[in-house]
Each structure stands twice: as C-alpha cells, then as structure tokens.
Amino acid sequence: DGGITQSPKYLFRKEGQNVTLSCEQNLNHDAMYWYRQDPGQGLRLIYYSQIVNDFQKGDIAEGYSVSREKKESFPLTVTSAQKNPTAFYLCASSIDRVSTEAFFGQGTRLTVV
C-alpha cells in the first residue's frame, strides 16, 4: 500500500537534546513538507522540499533542520535551539508543488521535559 509514514508516534526527550523525526513516503511524490500543529492554531510550515537535495525554510524554521538525500525520505531534526519544541509534528507530501492535494502522515507527538 502506498502512503506516508512517520515514526515514532510519540517521542519524549530531555530539554537540550536534539531529536530527529522520521518521514518516509512510497508515493513517488516530489514535494514533501513538515508542519507543526499547536492547540488552537493552524498548521504552520517548518520546511518544505520540492525535489531531492533541495529544501526551503517555511514560516517557522528557526531551531529546526532537514535533509532530502532521497526522494522517499525527509527527516526533521528538532535542535536544542528550538525554544518551545513540544508539539504535534505532521509530515506531508504531494505529487509536486502545484498539486491540489497533500497526503499527511499520522504525526509525531514530541514532548520535551
């Protein structure tokens, strides 16, 4: 079955530690995205990638980093520089940047203690 997979579903980390969230898709999509969702707020774009080895900052990129070494994979690292990292993180993909539909992973809930 084609889809987009995020792992793990729940993640706990101590303050000051970097943590990497996994996102894999087998839909052969060129475009991939990372969003952050906080209670009472809409999804906010962290980073996006239109093609392998290319990515761009979204609206709230500070304290985050990404890589796109393979078409299927777009991992997100939450660094210690991110001041408020506890949130629900959603990865998405679309055929290309102008596609009308994005497919979302199941999300990773990150809690920093």
Partner 1 sequence: GQNIDQPTEMTATEGAIVQINCTYQTSGFNGLFWYQQHAGEAPTFLSYNVLDGLEEKGRFSSFLSRSKGYSYLLLKELQMKDSASYLCAVKGETGGFKTIFGAGTRLFVKA
Residues making contact with partner 1 (CB under 8 A)? 31, 35, 40-45, 48, 50, 58, 88, 90, 97-98, 100-107, 109
Q: Least distance in Å: CB of 104 to partner 1? A: 4
Q: Where are the beta strands (DSSP E) in 8-113?
A: 10-13, 19-25, 31-37, 44-51, 54-57, 64-66, 76-78, 87-94, 103-104, 108-112
Q: Least distance in Å: CB of 80 to partner 1? A: 26
Q: Least distance in Å: CB of 57 to partner 1? A: 11
Whichever of 58 and 80 has its CB closer to partner 1, that residue is: 58
Whichever of 16 and 42 has its CB closer to partner 1, that residue is: 42
Whichever of 98 and 113 has its CB closer to partner 1, that residue is: 98
Are residues 73 and 65 in contact, defined by beta-carbon separation less than 8 angstroms? no
Q: Which amino acid is at 107?
A: G
- Smallest Cα–Cα separation from 69: which of 90, 89, 55? 55
